[in-house]
Amino acid sequence: MAGNPAGKVAVVTGAASGIGRACAVRLARDGARVAVLDLNGGEAEGVAEEIRAAGGTALSATVDVADRANIDQALADVRERLGPVAILVNSAGKEGFKRFLDITIESWTSILTVNLTGTFHCCQAVVPDMVEAGWGRIVNISSSSAHSGQPYMTHYVASKAGVMGFTKALALELGPAGITVNTIPPGFIDTPMTRRNEERGFFGSTVDELAARTPVRRAGLPEDIAAACSFLVSEEAGYITGQVIGVNGGRNT
């Protein structure tokens, strides 16, 4: 697959950490010129530096996907320095664990705004470039919890189920323009988010114990998601759109 998106500009959100970081590194290795966007600008720049040190092309920006003006400003800079955007991976995400009756409207709104509205903002901001080019690839990172449900996460699961519906609807609308839109719901990927949740006792179990109960007998790696993402943004995935491509070690079938 190496070199497949060669020269194309890829924007990855939440790319300072975990799944977003792995997608940014992988797409750069495949030949894309990558914009590494994240709330954590310093860490995003560290990922961009890592890509450049490996011979790739990358820049970073501090971006809050909940803030449309911030996104538009960052993308203007990306277009000026790298060119029009051909590939978008929406990985920025925020989780929460609360009993349903304890979820405040502020927390509900914040999670919906980052996970679902953030995906909307980023797609709307880059689709004109893709329409102009007659080619585009969008991959939205949702969650296996939207397949299975998850107690104490009604706000998070609702936001990720929203991302799945959004993906299907947008795929139908953008298909005639040469743009594919798919979603990967990761299941149990060993990332900083997962380790934070383990430490807080949210799993009621350890990562190792959960891995032992996973059909493939290991936790997923961010690189597992990046590999699926690499395929979905490739030329040869052009007939795959509006799909939910689970990457979860068999935890959800």
Which residues bind to ligand NAP, rule: CB under 6 A? 13-14, 16-20, 38-40, 63-66, 91-95, 114, 118, 141, 143-144, 186, 188-189, 191-194
Write the CB contacts of 128 (distance below 8 Å, at least 6 apart in sequence): none
Q: Considering the complex, state which of residue 90 and residue 241 has its C-beta at the smaller distance from ligand NAP.
A: 90
User: What is the DSSP annotation of 51-90?
Assistant: HHHTT-EEEEEE--TT-HHHHHHHHHHHHHHT-SEEEEEE
Quote the tokens at residue 126.
């880059």
Supply the minimum distance, in Å, between the C-beta of residue 38 and ligand NAP: 5
Q: Considering the complex, state which of residue 77 and residue 235 has its C-beta at the smaller distance from ligand NAP.
A: 77
Pick the catalytic residue from 27, 60, 156, 157: 156
Supply the minimum distance, in Å, between the C-beta of residue 94 and ligand NAP: 5
Quote the tokens at residue 24.
């940014």
Q: Cα separation of 149 and 32, whole Å?
A: 35
Tally the C-alpha atoms within 13 A of residue 143's C-alpha that lie toward its C-beta.
24
| 156 part of the active site | yes
Q: Cα separation of 198 and 200, whole Å?
A: 5
Q: Considering the complex, state which of residue 135 and residue 202 has its C-beta at the smaller distance from ligand NAP.
A: 202
Supply the minimum distance, in Å, between the C-beta of residue 126 and ligand NAP: 15
Q: Considering the complex, state which of residue 32 and residue 188 has its C-beta at the smaller distance from ligand NAP.
A: 188
End-to-end CA distance of the chain: 26
Supply the minimum distance, in Å, between the C-beta of residue 27 and ligand NAP: 15
Active site residues: 156
